[in-house]
Amino acid sequence: MERSITAFSFALVAALASALVLMVQAQLNPGFISIDCGAPNSYTDYETNIDFSTDKGFIESGESMQISTKFIRQKFRQWLKNLRSFPSGMRNCYTLKPDKGKNNTYLIRASFWYADYDDKNRPPIFDLHIDVNHWDTVDSGNNYYEIVYVAQRDDIQVCLENIGQGVPFISALELRPLDNSIYHIESGFLTLWDRYDVGGPNSTIRYPDDVYDRIWKGWNSPFWLMLNPGTSASDLSNNNDEYKVPGEVLRTAQTASDSNTTLFYYILPDNVTSKWIWYFHFAETQILPSGQQRELTVTTSDGQFEETVGLEYLKPVTVVSTPVSGSQIKFSFKATTMQSGYPPPIINAFEIFQIKELLNAPTAQDDVKALTTTKAEYTVNKDSWQGDPCVPCEFAWDGLNCSYRNPPRVISLNISSSNLRGIISSSLSDLLELESLDLSNNQLTGAIPETLANLPKLRILNLSGNRLNGSVPEALKRRHEDKTLDLSLNNNPDLCQESPCSKTEAKNSILVPVVASVSVVFVVICVLSIGLIRRKRTLESSERTLGLKNRPFKYEEVSRITGNFGQVIGEGGFGKVYLGALDNGTVVAVKMLSETSKQGYKEFQAEARTLLIVHHRNLVSLFGYCNESRHMALIYEYMANGNLRQHLSGVFLCPVILFLL
Ligand SMILES: *[C@@H]1O[C@H](CO)[C@@H](O)[C@H](O)[C@H]1NC(C)=O
Ligand SMILES: *[C@@H]1O[C@H](CO)[C@@H](O)[C@H](O)[C@H]1NC(C)=O
Ligand SMILES: *[C@@H]1O[C@H](CO)[C@@H](O)[C@H](O)[C@H]1NC(C)=O
Ligand SMILES: *[C@@H]1O[C@H](CO)[C@@H](O)[C@H](O)[C@H]1NC(C)=O
Ligand SMILES: *[C@@H]1O[C@H](CO)[C@@H](O)[C@H](O)[C@H]1NC(C)=O
Ligand SMILES: *[C@@H]1O[C@H](CO)[C@@H](O)[C@H](O)[C@H]1NC(C)=O
Ligand SMILES: *[C@@H]1O[C@H](CO)[C@@H](O)[C@H](O)[C@H]1NC(C)=O
Ligand SMILES: *[C@@H]1O[C@H](CO)[C@@H](O)[C@H](O)[C@H]1NC(C)=O
């Protein structure tokens, strides 16, 4: 007792200690995924204290490269130095598995710094996809792209697609968990256009100042006035602002010369139908004369959006626009009271996002899971087996055909001649829409899983040219016979295709027919040479048994004929053998499969089947069997000489046969 308490408290201490370690880690980089693509080792970034890892485990393809030495400087962002390039494969994907999983909001940032790594002095142009949807086209050799994305699945895939304009590459990939209540939109995802710290320094602010690691660029309009930062960052940092804009960002701002002057900012989208959402962050940093409050109206010039906001000292507030569009999108900030003496408008920070629609739906999750498992089990080595299996259709996995309904499903899979080894993956039976499965000309071993017959739409199953063994599952045979399945099994030398399959049963059962026929010859010779001794009795015996052969027994009946399992006459691998008597007086041996003998079940069945097939009076007669859920029994003609196996091994000895006869 004392010992177990000690052990328990030890376990408790250990659990607490590990929880503590986890908490400390979590506080450092809470749920961050920071990948330095192509880097040889992981490290902690000296400026942000963010732990960068290598891309091992996130991607399986590509080549690790380093930028041209002429771009490497002394004090230098380490994650810009290495990159991963993708000379082969049309699509290459990183798989991110954020802790919080699906249906949570994440900031995802992909950075690209070409820096003439390939000595071609020509940055490539390629497409960036988030899961199955277009994110952006990377067309500058020095930029980062950022989105706010709600994970559709537990895994998020970032894919680079070769569009024939150079070899895609990537320098860094980062994921930051966000609060689900911010940057929330009805559908689609947000791609960052720009994020400004108005009146900020000529540099950027990010983690650890920004807990979400947004990158704020210091920016000043030459037409606006600088507002003297009246407060410190810490005055503004510990507030309940859900957007958690860093105090360092909020403390600087720009303003107008008087309350009659309007501030405005505009962008010129190249696509008039694209939709935009703006986030304006305000905070009053000035102590105004008593009775005064800065109140301003945020509007678009064409009336698509209008909202008035009153500012309170050191209380940040965020104004989120509705989705707006147009060839020019212009936002104005003006004081609500345009009178002298009233405070002019200010702006502390703002962000502009474009809304991207989720135009493509991913492949059904069960299919993805089944294929991913299959891929892992066989270590399938195909360039195209990355990203979503079916979507977009021009990048569908090699050997796959899909139906493009919602969601897309896998309808055929062809992995013939792909050097697959091992058993047939049971996860293939989870591809429920599968119509055709070709696994021919591999080196697959083991038995054919019966579950393949459960695929309701399977019409073609080609398993030829493998090293499968065992027997063909009955259900598949039946479907082949009623012509609903085109089944090819050629060139599997160890596969038994006959019915019943004698080859595959327990070792001795292969012997049975052979031994039976051999024994017949022996018996005939013996009997002839010695004379027809005890003939009458033998005939009687077989007559007696004739009408009784192979009938099912109820468990109750088994219990009755053995006198409630009163006399044990032997014990085998399956369980005990009991002595019993049928109603007509025939003495029988009842072999019970013990409930604990799971392993014996197959062999037991095999034995039953063999005996049902091989009827020869010189072999032991099976009178019947019992198969009631938990109770399995075989009822034999009683042989004083022990069990069938012993009997068969002794069959070649004439005297034994004679004795039995
Ligand atoms: C996803 O999360 C939102 C809130 O963030 C919730 O309203 C919605 O029901 C969730 N959906 C699923 C499928 O869990
Ligand atoms: C800001 O930085 C850029 C490049 O780093 C430089 O060209 C510019 O002169 C700087 N501006 C100020 C006001 O320091
Ligand atoms: C413009 O945007 C709309 C909606 O976002 C999109 O359907 C269309 O293809 C875009 N046009 C061009 C030329 O990019
Ligand atoms: C601002 O304009 C209003 C009328 O448009 C005027 O009455 C007021 O005097 C002006 N104030 C200043 C400070 O120019
Ligand atoms: C997919 O469909 C095309 C056209 O119907 C066919 O040629 C091809 O063999 C199919 N691929 C597989 C793997 O079944
Ligand atoms: C599978 O692909 C091989 C060639 O790669 C082809 O010969 C075979 O016909 C395909 N199987 C099916 C069922 O289409
Ligand atoms: C079939 O092959 C597997 C492995 O190749 C082996 O373990 C198994 O015993 C074989 N089964 C039969 C019935 O021969
Ligand atoms: C496998 O069998 C199917 C159906 O008989 C056939 O269409 C396919 O071409 C075969 N595959 C190979 C690689 O021969």
Rounded Cα–Cα distance for residues 194 and 611 (Å): 81
435 lines ligand 5 (CB under 6 A): no
Rounded Cα–Cα distance for residues 158 and 132 (Å): 9
Q: Which residues line ligand 4 (CB under 6 A)?
A: 258, 260, 338-340
**pLDDT tens-digit map of 179-228:** 999 999 999 999 999 999 999 998 999 999 999 999 999 999 999 999 98
- What integer pLDDT is reported at residue 607 of this predicted model? 61
Identify the nearest ligand to the CA of 486 by its number.
8
Write the CA distances from 614 to 197, 420, 474, integer angstroms. 89, 39, 20
273 lines ligand 3 (CB under 6 A): yes
Q: Of the residues 418, 440, 485, which should be mutated to test ligand 8's pocket, given the most ligand atoms within 8 Å of the CB? A: 440
- What integer pLDDT is reported at residue 23 of this predicted model? 42
Q: Which residues line ligand 7 (CB under 6 A)?
A: 445-446, 469-470, 504
With a cut of 80, say whether residue 513 has pLDDT above it.
no
- What integer pLDDT is reported at residue 518 of this predicted model? 44
**pLDDT tens-digit map of 132-174:** 999 999 998 889 999 999 999 999 999 999 999 999 999 999 9
- What integer pLDDT is reported at residue 142 of this predicted model? 86
With a cut of 80, say whether residue 656 has pLDDT above it.
no
Identify the nearest ligand to the CA of 186 by its number.
1
Of 336-340, 374-378, 397-401, 599-603, minimum mean pLDDT range: 599-603
Contact partners, residue 214, CB within 8 Å, separation at least 6: 107, 195, 206, 351
Using DSSP's 3-state secondary structure scheme, residue 647 falls into helix
With a cut of 80, say whether residue 242 has pLDDT above it.
yes
Ligand 6 centre distance from Cα of residue 496 (Å): 25
469 lines ligand 5 (CB under 6 A): no
Mean pLDDT, the chain, rounded, equals: 82
Rounded Cα–Cα distance for residues 115 and 69 (Å): 9
What is the identity of the amino acid at 189? Answer: F
- What integer pLDDT is reported at residue 563 of this predicted model? 78
User: Across 415-453, where does the E strand assignment appear?
Assistant: 421-423, 436-438, 443-446
Q: Are 115 and 186 in contact (CB under 8 A)?
A: no
Contact partners, residue 390, CB within 8 Å, separation at least 6: 363, 367, 396, 397, 400, 402, 404, 408, 409, 410
Identify the nearest ligand to the CA of 491 by its number.
8
Q: Are 451 and 425 in contact (CB under 8 A)?
A: no
Range 134-166 burial, b when 16+ CB lie within 10 A, else e: bbbebeebeeebbbbbbbbbebbbbbbbbeeeb
Which residues are registered as beta bridge partners of 306? 299
With a cut of 80, say whether residue 236 has pLDDT above it.
yes
Ligand 1 centre distance from Cα of residue 408 (Å): 22
- Taking each helix axis from N to C end, the angle separating 507-530 and 600-613, rounded to the nearest 10 degrees, works out to 40
**pLDDT tens-digit map of 322-357:** 999 999 999 999 999 877 788 999 999 999 999 999
Cα 24 off chain centre by = 29
User: Across 139-199, where does the E strand assignment appear?
Assistant: 142-150, 156-165, 169-170, 172-177, 189-198
Using DSSP's 3-state secondary structure scheme, residue 357 falls into coil
Q: Relative to the CA of 401, which ligand 5 atom is closest?
A: 1
Rounded Cα–Cα distance for residues 175 and 148 (Å): 10
271 lines ligand 3 (CB under 6 A): yes
Instruction: Output the CA torsion 653→656→658→661 (10° steps).
Output: -130
Q: What value does the mean pLDDT take over residues 565-578?
A: 72
327 lines ligand 3 (CB under 6 A): no
Quick one: which H or E segment has residue 51?
Answer: strand 51-52
Ligand 6 centre distance from Cα of residue 173 (Å): 38
Looking only at the bridges linking them, the beta strands covering 421-423 and 443-446 are parallel
Residue of 376 and 537 predicted with greater confidence = 376
Q: What value does the mean pLDDT take over residues 11-20?
A: 43
Residue of 512 and 459 predicted with greater confidence = 459
Ligand 8 centre distance from Cα of residue 488 (Å): 8
Cα 53 off chain centre by = 22
- What integer pLDDT is reported at residue 233 of this predicted model? 82
- What integer pLDDT is reported at residue 573 of this predicted model? 57
**pLDDT tens-digit map of 25-35:** 445 678 999 99
Give the angle subtended at the CA of 148 by the CAs of 299 and 47, to the nearest 5°: 105
Q: Relative to the CA of 469, which ligand 7 atom is closest?
A: 1
Ligand 2 centre distance from Cα of residue 78 (Å): 22
Q: Is 277 left (phi over 0), alpha (psi -120 to 50) or beta?
A: beta
With a cut of 50, say whether residue 13 has pLDDT above it.
no
Residue of 56 and 590 predicted with greater confidence = 56
Instruction: Output the CA torsion 18→24→26→27 (10° steps).
Output: 160
Q: Are 476 and 452 in contact (CB under 8 A)?
A: yes
180 lines ligand 1 (CB under 6 A): yes
For the chain, counts of helices (H) and of strands (E): 11, 42
Identify the nearest ligand to the CA of 102 by its number.
1
Q: What value does the mean pLDDT take over residues 252-275?
A: 94
Of 60-69, 558-567, 651-660, minimum mean pLDDT range: 651-660
Ligand 5 centre distance from Cα of residue 392 (Å): 17
- What integer pLDDT is reported at residue 4 of this predicted model? 39
Ligand 3 centre distance from Cα of residue 356 (Å): 10
Using DSSP's 3-state secondary structure scheme, residue 494 falls into coil
Ligand 4 centre distance from Cα of residue 343 (Å): 13
Rounded Cα–Cα distance for residues 274 and 188 (Å): 12
Write the CA distances from 4 to 9, 14, 17, 222, integer angstroms. 9, 15, 20, 74
Range 312-349 burial, b when 16+ CB lie within 10 A, else e: eebebbbbbbebbebeebebbbbbeeeeeebbbbbbbb
Q: Per the structure block, which two tokens stand in for 90?
A: 């049309």
Ligand 3 centre distance from Cα of residue 161 (Å): 20
pTM, two decimals, is 0.73
- What integer pLDDT is reported at residue 235 of this predicted model? 82
- What integer pLDDT is reported at residue 289 of this predicted model? 87
Residue with tokens 């033998």: 538
Contact partners, residue 361, CB within 8 Å, separation at least 6: 132, 391, 406, 407, 408
**pLDDT tens-digit map of 266-324:** 999 999 999 999 999 999 999 998 888 999 999 998 899 999 999 999 999 999 999 99
Q: What value does the mean pLDDT take over residues 442-454?
A: 94
412 lines ligand 5 (CB under 6 A): yes
Annotated ligand binding at 591? The verdict is: yes
Q: Relative to the CA of 414, which ligand 6 atom is closest?
A: 1
Q: Relative to the CA of 460, which ligand 8 atom is closest?
A: 4
**pLDDT tens-digit map of 404-428:** 988 999 999 999 999 999 999 999 9
466 lines ligand 8 (CB under 6 A): no
- What integer pLDDT is reported at residue 587 of this predicted model? 76
- What integer pLDDT is reported at residue 43 of this predicted model? 94
Using DSSP's 3-state secondary structure scheme, residue 100 falls into coil
